Each structure stands twice: as C-alpha cells, then as structure tokens.
Chain A
Amino acid sequence: MPEPILLVENLEKRYADVHAVRGVSFSVNEGEVFGLLGPNGAGKTSTIEVLEGLRVPDGGRVSVCGLDPQKKPNELKAVIGATLQATSLPDKMRVAEAIRLFAGFYKKTRNPDELLRRFGLEEKRGSFYNQLSGGQKQRLALSMALVNDPRVLFLDEPTAGLDPQVRREIYTIIEELKAEKKTIVLTTHYIEEAEKLCDRVAIIDHGKVIAAGTPRELKRRSANTTRIEVRLSKPASNGTLKNLDGVEDARELDGAYVLHCQRTAPAIVALVKHLEAENNELVSLEIATPSLEDVFIELTGRRLRD
C-alpha cells in the first residue's frame, strides 16, 4: 500500500450549538477519487474545509500531502486546489482577469488561457462574473482550482443546484481529471454522482462515517436482495408485509413501502394476493437493483436527498 496522500483521524468539529463532525476517519491514496456522501448537514463540508485549512478542527489529526493545514497553511495552499460550495467573485471581474489573478498567487502554475479553453470558457473570457450562468461559474471555479496544478483537488458539492445537463458536463470534466490521475476529494448528496465518479466512498451521517468502501463493496451489502418499492391506495401495516413469502424486510418510507426480497417473483405474487385479500390496491410498483441509496436507507432508515 502506498502512503496515503490525505489522512483524517478522529476529526472533531463543533460549532456553538452543533457537534458537526464526530470522530471522522478516512484516508485517500494518490490518484484516487474519494467521495464523502451524505445528506445536507451531515458534516461533509466541515470535514473538507478543515482539510483545506479554512476551519480549525476541535480534535483529531489531519494531514494533506504530509502537511498539517493549521501549521503550514501556505505550503498546503500551494499544493491544493478547491471549489467551495458557494464560491463567489466580484461581480465586475472578467473571466480572464479572475484566472490570471489567481495564477499570479502561485509559484507553479498552469497556463490560464489553456485552462479557459479546456473548460469551454474561451468565448466568455471577457464577460463579467455576474453575467455567467451557474454552469459557467462552476466551470470557472474548477479552472481556478486547477490553476496551480494542485496535487489534491477538493470539490465541495460540485454539481449542487445545477440542472441535469450542466451536471453531466461537470461529470465529464471530473472523469477527465480522474483519467489524468488527479487525486480528488468530493462531497455530494447525489447518489449517482458518488457511484459514477468515485473510486471509494465514505457515507457520512450526523457527523460520523457510517460506511466506507468502493461503491461496489458497499452495494454488495445489499446485493443479495432486490428492492421493491410500492405505493398503495390504503396504508398497510409493516408487520403484514414483512411476513409475505419471499420478503426479508419491509419498511415505510415517505408514504411508500420498501420491501427487500431475496426472491423477487414469489414476493410480487404474494404481495398482489395479499392486497386483493385486504381490498387494497397497488398504485405503483418499482423494482430496483441495489444502489448506494439502498445502503444509505439500510443504515439510517432515511432517504438521501436534499
């Protein structure tokens, strides 16, 4: 195993009335895309901002490229790049000015014009920041994060609030960076983002890592069971659904019933019979192969969404 480029041990972060991060530990290897997956308020941003040196931890140990962010802030900042959840620039700053300005802050830099071209901002180079769309702002943020050719790239919710098409654009960019073997730590509350982009994922909830591994490993936890999600015209009791033939577990979630089944076909037959007998009707039925979402539901009993 190579020495991890990033190490977090028992990280603690408290704010006035919130214990945001409660003993988070993980490590990231060079060239890896690592995802922190969890709902809003889980402690992802606090964790990542401690790693960037923007927040002071209340306990534990972190090391990025062998540096302690609190002790060597400027050395650290020279080797990392980051996009923040709410990055902003002065309204009247032009795109090319912004990237040139930030390039001027580092000893080692990439060619700003090349970055603009690569991120499709060539035509926008003369535009003011406040004239850019959400997707363009995010692409500018990404190109600015890369301007010092960082060893580790932190992306905090890189696609939050963007429409699906723009989100796919950002995915393509991150996949390209992944192909270049950039080390990336990203936070997200989108399951598909974590599944699609990350080599490894840590699922965070209430300030704790509740599961970690490759998306495949995590999914394997629920691999033997298929998830059937049904909506019924009348409420049914969990107990009765759980006892149906072929159903392992059943729980109610946001007005739907989620059944975990080992054998799908008999379970559906049993369900339909049961509903007929109960004079209940099936409003919708969905069969899903396991995803990280199931892992999250299994672990927390809640859905992961914003």
Chain B
Amino acid sequence: MKTILTLAAMRIRITLRNKAFLFFSLIMPMVFFFLYGSVFAKGNVQAVTFLMGPVLSLTVMGTFWGLSMQLVTWREQGILRRFRLAPLSPATMIASSVIANYALILPTVFLQLFLARYIYHVTAFGNWITLFVFVILGITSFGALGLIVASVTNTMQETQIINQLLWFSFLFLSGATVPLSVLPVVVQRIGLFLPATYLVSGIQRGMVYNQGVWSLTVEIISLLAWGALAFFISSMLFRWEPEAKLPRNAKLWAVATILPFILLGIWENHNGKVLATAASMLADKPTENAPPPDRTK
C-alpha cells in the first residue's frame, strides 16, 4: 500500500508538470463550465444546476484520456521496463494511477462546484451524497477505461484515435452536450448503452431531483461493476514491454468490460426511466434556457 501511494504521489507530481495535462484537466473543463453556465444557461440558477450534471461529467470522464496517454507513452519510451525491474506488480502500477487520478480531478470538481455557488449563485446542490458517489465512481471507472484503452493499443496514434472515438460518443450520445430527450429516439436508445449516460443522469438526478443513492442503485452497481471489471482485465492485459504483443483474445476481453452496460442498456430500454427523467427535466426548465439553444427549436 505504501508503494502504491508513493507511486501515486510521484505520478501526481509528474502530471502536474505536464502542460498538456493542465489543459485537458483544468482549462478545458473550466471552458465547458463557463460555456454551459454563461452561454447555454445564461446564468439562470435553475439552468446552471441542471447543466452541472453535464459539466461535472465531462470533467470526470476526461480522466480516461490522460491516463491512457500516460501509460502508452511510458510503455513506448521504455519507462515501464525500468519500473518492471523493481518488485512491482501490474496491479500496483494500475492502482497508483487510479489514486493519482482522484487527486488530479477532484480539485477541478470542487472548483466548479465552488464557482457554481459564487458566480452563478447555485445554492441547492441536491443530494450531496449522490453527487459524490457518482463523481468518485466516475473517476474510478473512467480511469479504468483509460487503462483498458492503454492495454489494447500499441502506439500513441492508435490510442489517440480510440480516445477520440470514445470521447465524441460520450460527448454527443450521453446527454453531456445535447440533452438526451432532444435526440432522435434511436440515438437515445444507443445512448442507454453508454456508461457516460448514467454518469450524467446520476449526477443530474442527485442535483436536480435530490434523489438519494438508493434510488440509483442500478446505475451505481453498473458503474461499479464496469470499473471493477476494467480494473481487473487491464491488470491481466498489462504490458510492460514496448514490443510485447497483444494476446489474441485481448480485444475480446476489453470488450467484455462493457457487459454491465449492455445489460443495463437492455434493461433501461425496456423500463425507460432515464429517458423519461431526462425529458421531464428538460420540460421542467424554462425552454429559452435549454442547451444548446439552437438544437431545441
């Protein structure tokens, strides 16, 4: 455990010295925050509260990006080989990166909540427990997603491509940018298979509807199961060596991690609570503040 913390502390230091990281985990989330808060919500308290779900989700989801890039760079440059000479296990390496991630992402989350309170005068944050359970779960499970990406890609380029694909599907199909209920029904149904959708809706339901964790157990369990599976499989697929070949069935294993969300997606497609909530949330708000304005017409 001491080793994990030492490694995590080192990773935090190294990452903070990386300008690209500061851009992706601090500047970009803050741009989203002000864009949503001032442009989409026009500073309206209710609308900002509603949009904190997408804003916080984007901040949290971004973790997979930095983590996968760091791991792949380290492997490509032979840095992981040097670590391999020490008595360290893949699980130690992976756990340290997930822990480092909390320390790197949580300050931005707090900053956004703080600014929501003092710039946009949001006073009702709904259910704090739900909010934090989802933030923590999100950092863990999306961090684990980054590990999975790193374990099935061989080069930085591959990693970039996969990350872009994931990022854009999270952006546009999960309700993080365009509210789910304004999307075509087919797209909404596809969105129900994405973990990002449940992160956004979990945070929103906690903040807007004051829902407790007990009414969101299915979402929590799915995120938890997804994170645990991804963590476990990425430690199995962990490669120290730049030239190490991917086991033939590795990609299948990686795909297996989305199982919880296939199940949840099927279940949700039948019960439809998320979509209904998303629709009612949008209906509840003053329509002129619906984000982004041009898409709600």
Contact = CB atoms under 8 A, between A and B. Distances in A.
Interface in A102-152: 102, 104-106, 144
A90 B85 contact: no
A88 B242 CA distance: 12
A86 interface: yes
Contacts of B2: 104
A102 B82 CA distance: 10
B84 A54 contact: yes
Given A52-B85, A54-B241, A74-B87, A104 B77 contact: no
Given A54-B241, A88-B77, A90-B74, A105 B86 contact: yes
Interface stretch (A76-84, A171-179, A185-193): A76-84
Contact of B7 (A89, A92, A101): A101
Contact of A87 (B10, B17, B82, B240): B82
Interface string B49-90: 000000000000000000000000010011101101111110
Contacts of A287: none
B271 interface: no
Interface string B97-140: 00000000000000000000000000000000000000000000
How many chain A residues sit at the interface, stated as a range, is 20 to 34
B82 A88 contact: yes
Contacts of A32: none
A77 to B, nearest CB: 4
A88 B7 contact: no
A4 B215 CA distance: 66
A97 interface: yes
B86 A87 contact: no
Contacts of B285: none
Interface residues of B, number: 23
Contacts of B86: 77, 102, 105-106
Q: Of residues B74, B77, B85, which shows the largest number of chain A Cβ atoms within 10 Å of its Cβ?
A: B85
B82 A105 contact: no
A141 to B, nearest CB: 8
Contact of B85 (A54, A89, A93): A54
A84 B74 contact: no
A183 to B, nearest CB: 17
Nearest to A105: B86
Nearest to B16: A92
A92 B14 contact: yes
B87 A93 contact: no
B273 interface: no
A46 to B, nearest CB: 12
Interface in A183-228: none
Contacts of A93: 10, 14
Interface of B: 2-3, 6-7, 10, 13-14, 17-18, 74, 77-79, 81-82, 84-89, 240-241
Query: What 3 A-B pairs have minimum CB-CB distances, sorted nearest first?
Result: A92-B17, A74-B87, A105-B86
Given A84-B85, A92-B17, 7 more contacts: A74-B87, A74-B89, A81-B85, A84-B78, A88-B82, A97-B13, A106-B86
